[in-house]
Structure 1
């Protein structure tokens, strides 16, 4: 999965290089780091899971290949992320 963070970074870099597909990313900035989230199909099943990774404003990936954020065994879709009040809020649709 490749991302461009145009407003602070000028080079392309990989956040997730695992097998399987990664789709539908979203990004929020907390004033120091970015949090990038995406639908991830690394499990090899028909399910998509929610993964995310923190990236510094200089482009260092703090969580290579991401951490799983939703623990359910259903497909996560249409995720969105926002920053406010000192915390991230992630909303998504659980497709049972």
Structure 2
């Protein structure tokens, strides 16, 4: 099965979004790196990521803390009123054991 190619406006939209959030994503990455936490005790990381996303609610993001009955889990949803395509990213990070 051949993977679909991402081209044109769709790819450009992804690139614009990545550029728009680049500084924030890098800051979160650095924060997680410099604040290691134990598995299922990633409260600092959880709170930092949720706070960043909550600050973007006016843009269509919605944060659900402690998703899936895990205190350090979260779900960030996005609603786009244009009806166009939405790209989704799943992210996981390793904790100390």
User: One fold, TM greater than 0.5?
Assistant: no
Higher helix share: 2
Normalising by structure 1, report the TM-score.
0.25
For the pair shown, the structure with the greater C-alpha radius of gyration is: 2
